[in-house]
Chain A
Amino acid sequence: MATVQAPGEPGPGDEAGVVVGALPVPGEWGIRPGISGARALRRLGRAVTSNGKAAAGAILLLIFVLVGLFPGVIAHDNPNAEIYHVSLGPSSAHLLGTTGYGQDMFAQVIYGTRPVLLIAFGAGLGCTIIAMLIGVAAAYLGGAWDSVLNLITDVLLVIPAFPLLIVIGSYLHGATTGVMIAVITCISWSYTARQLRAQALSLRGREFLEAARVRGERAIYIIVVEIIPTMTSLLVASFLTNALYAVLFSSSLQFIGLGDPNVVSWGTMLYWAENNEALETGQALWIIVPGLCIVTLGAAFALLNYAFDEIGNPALRPVRSMRGKRVKPAE
């Protein structure tokens, strides 16, 4: 909440580069021109393995992706089949018991992974791509284009996203996974677009862009081949942030019944659990397990993102060396 930057003005966070999830200070890697995309990605890979937070996040995410790809290998029940006794406790036949409708809850949790991941990756990618196109185009084209694109971005940035999602959801009556991805993407690309525009602006007038122009390259070539590769780390960070928000937004919308109630997903599980007053009737697992899944998946994205912030802005890294002792005041 409230991490939205004051639009139109370079807020203090922009300068210091310390707002959580915001633009990292041009660091060791990130905006150094001339580093190709592939090399930046390799550095990224090395950073992930050497940073504890990043490694934990990557492993968690990998597990969820595997579960989402092959749910049938882990759970053998049909998640929709209402064929068992209702509200059974955990047992060897039903690891998490059954729901109030007689469905196997373990199967529901396992099969519920895929739609959540689809929304996370779909909206995460969608937001990043739209933000990249608009942000970079605004910065590169400049002039009237910049003003118009920037204005659109700013207006979308300040219109409260979640209430708007609720309003749209209420007209849609049961948004399927695809619609959910589209709506979340359309509403939440603006913050990233601002970051990417700022990044692209900082490249204005650099020699390597000038050189490309003198070579007679077209604008589209310069944007795709020269500018975008310098943003690899920022693009990864924005993908992670948007994926995290997509998970939270979509689960919340499904919880209040604005998703498609027939799609098995963690948010709809919570919706049906709440409709059956699961807490008051001793079916707490129905609420706890899907929620824990949302939190763990969110944590995977957040851990990766937090780690990238630390890598991009060395000032935020935990201190453990001599330097820490020297800075610490004698008390």
Chain B
Amino acid sequence: MRFVLRRSGFFLLTLWVALTLNFLLPRMMPGNPALAVIGKFKGGITPEALKALDAEFGLNAHQSLLSQYWTYLGDVATGKWGVSLTTQPGNSVARIVLDALPWTLGLVGITTILAFILGTLIGIIGAWRRGGRLDSILPPIFVIMTVIPYFWLGLVLILFFGVKLHWLPYFFSYDYTLTPALDWTFISNVLEHAILPGFTLLITTIGTWILTMRNTMITTLAEDYVRMARAKGLPGWRIMMDYAARNAILPNLTGFAMSLGFVIGGAILIEEVFNYQGLGYLLLEAVNNDDYPLMQALFLLITVAVLVAILLSDIATAILDPRTRGAR
């Protein structure tokens, strides 16, 4: 219980730091770039929205910094996230974000789960057949895979499977000509559009799972209880899964809980490359259009997602591994 409380305290502190960064960054930059943009689009904004922006960016310097800060914190806490300036002028930021959220959750979420399962399995088998064909080929390949920029791999895949071979679509999340509906034509179209971005993400993230699992598994395989299981003559797969993998999976499991938090911000560049209308694409749209309120809201959302995931992962570790509970 004390553990959870302490972690929650840390959670709140980090959240406060992220909020303060959001507040201070535009004010620290030379000439407060946000001011210029807001000034340009002042006409299209309702007065109450303008008041929120006022607190967020320090629009007119009548208020002191401290009182601006308090208003800003209050606005964020009560869900007044302001309106979009340029991306969808006048629309509320919350609305825009909610529209984009399902696309990111679907694409990146499912890919992350797939990468975790596949990567962990490959890691288990690789460590079990240490020095075998799989073990000697895969890790080096995936070490190299992890140094490839996601976005560049996406571009290369677009070149071969999209531009050259015309096998797969690579623009937007479904065909422009279709109207969204819950029928097979639309769903299969959406799935088809998700193959290339999903595959790009899968092969760039799977390496971490494989390596972590393999390396922990190798340590576990040297334990006495594994030797004991061998001496008892248990079948190989049982030793592999029930004795070694079960004990070695902890780092991967906690890593998985954490990576779920990165889902929201994890594929920013892939969404950009494939023009996939998720949160990452939205963030870059906001950045390119100097739409600072939208950008700030997305950054906060990404931070909160990561924080929640880390909190969950800590709690999961505490439940799964009693050794960590009393530490410090």
**Which residues of chain A have a CB within 8 Å of any CB of chain B?**
1-4, 6-13, 16, 18-20, 151, 154-155, 158-160, 162-164, 166-173, 244, 248, 251-252, 255-258, 270, 274, 279-280, 284, 287-288, 291, 294-295, 298-299, 301-303, 306, 315-316, 318-320, 324, 327-329, 331
Contacts and interface: CB of A to CB of B under 8 A. Distances in A.
Contacts of B310: 6-7, 158
Interface of B: 6-7, 10, 13-14, 17-18, 21-22, 25-26, 29, 33-34, 129-131, 136, 143-144, 146-149, 151-152, 155-156, 158-159, 162-163, 205, 208, 211-212, 215-216, 218-219, 221-222, 230, 236, 239, 250-251, 254-256, 258-259, 262, 265-266, 268-269, 272, 283-284, 286-288, 290, 292, 295-296, 298-299, 302-303, 306-307, 310, 313-314, 317, 321, 324, 327-328
A159 B136 CA distance: 36
Nearest to A291: B152
Contacts of B131: 318-320, 324, 328
Contact of A315 (B25, B208, B222, B307): B222
17 contacts: A1-B205, A4-B258, A10-B327, A11-B324, A18-B218, A20-B212, A155-B14, A166-B299, A170-B290, A244-B147, A248-B147, A284-B159, A295-B149, A302-B143, A303-B143, A315-B218, A316-B218
A8 B325 CA distance: 12
Closest 8 CB pairs of A and B: A298-B147, A2-B259, A18-B215, A291-B152, A170-B287, A171-B29, A319-B131, A302-B147
Contact of A167 (B255, B290, B296): B296
A12 B306 CA distance: 19
B152 A294 contact: yes
B151 A255 contact: yes
A20 B10 CA distance: 26
Secondary structure of the A contact surface, majority rule: helix
Contact of B302 (A163, A168, A270, A316): A163
Contact of B251 (A1, A13, A280, A331): A13
B163 A279 contact: yes
A166 B208 contact: no
Contacts of A291: 149, 152, 155-156
Contact of A2 (B21, B147, B208, B307): B208
Given A2-B208, A12-B317, A20-B208, A162 B136 contact: no
Contacts of B151: 252, 255
Given A3-B208, A279-B159, 8 more contacts: A1-B266, A6-B254, A12-B250, A159-B306, A166-B284, A252-B151, A256-B269, A279-B158
Contacts of A303: 143
Contacts of A256: 269, 272, 284, 287-288
Contacts of B216: 12, 16, 18
Contacts of B269: 252, 255-256
Residue among A12, A170, A248, A252 with most chain B CB within 10 A: A170
A18 B249 CA distance: 12
